[in-house]
Chain A
Amino acid sequence: AQTVTQSQPEMSVQEAETVTLSCTYDTSESDYYLFWYKQPPSRQMILVIRQEAYKQQNATENRFSVNFQKAAKSFSLKISDSQLGDAAMYFCVSSGNTPLVFGKGTRLSVIA
C-alpha cells in the first residue's frame, strides 16, 4: 500500500520569501506520479504541480518547484516569492496503480 507523510502540520512564511514544504512517500510501484494540491479557504482543490517518477528533472510551474529525490522517496515543494494568495492547505499526493493517496496536509500561512 502507498503511504504519504507530511511532517509539518503548519508552516508560515513572510510575504516575498521562500518556503519549502516536506513530503515523503512509500510505494512499491515502479511507475507512479506525485502531485501537490492546494486547498484555499474556498475549499476548491487546485493542482499545483505534477511529477512523473520516471523523469529525473524536477518539475517547475512559475513560482512553484519540487525537489524530487527518488531514492530517498522525498518530494518537497518550494514556493518562491510567496504571496498572500498562497495561503492554503497543501497536500502531497502519490499515485500508482491504485487511486491517489493523500498526505494529511500542511497548512501554510503567509504573513504580510
Chain B
Amino acid sequence: DVKVTQSSRYLVKRTGEKVFLECVQDMDHENMFWYRQDPGLGLRLIYFSYDVKMKEKGDIPEGYSVSREKKERFSLILESASTNQTSMYLCASSLLKVEKLFFGSGTQLSVL
C-alpha cells in the first residue's frame, strides 16, 4: 500500500530554533509538496518539488526552505521558528503533476 510518512505527529519548539520536518514516500513519485493547514484558511502551499534537487516556491514560502536530495525524501526547514509558524504541516506526493495527492498524517507544530 502507498505510504507517505512524516517523521513526527506532534512537535514543540522554541522561538528561534531551527526546525526540520521530514517527509518520506515509498511510491517512487516525482512530485512532492508541503502544505500548511490553519483553521478557516484551508491548505496553503509552501513549497513543492517536481524532481530531485528541484524546488519551487508556493503561495507562502516566507520563513521556510526545503531540501530534496533524494527522490523519496522532501524536508521542510524553518530557519528560525516563530510563533506564527505554529500550525499543522502536511506533506504530500503525486505521480503526475495534476493528479491525486497522497498525504502524510501531518505534523502539528507548536512554537512557544
Query: Quick one: which of B33, B58, B92, B100 has the most chain A CB within 10 A?
Result: B100
Assembly CA distance A33 to B98 (angstroms): 7
In the complex, A47 has a CB within 8 A of chain B: yes
A97/B97 in contact, CB under 8 A? yes
User: In the assembled complex, how far is the CB of residue B66 from the closest CB belonging to chain A, in whole angstroms?
Assistant: 13
Q: How many A-B residue pairs have CB under 8 A?
A: 45
Q: Give the interface residue-count category, chain A.
A: 20 to 34
Which residue numbers of B lie inside 8 Å of A, CB to CB?
A: 33, 35, 40-45, 48, 58, 88, 90, 92, 97-101, 103, 105-106
Can you give 19 contacting A-B residue pairs, CB < 8 Å?
A33-B99, A42-B105, A43-B106, A44-B103, A44-B106, A45-B103, A47-B101, A50-B100, A91-B42, A91-B43, A97-B97, A99-B45, A100-B33, A100-B98, A100-B101, A102-B43, A102-B44, A103-B42, A104-B40
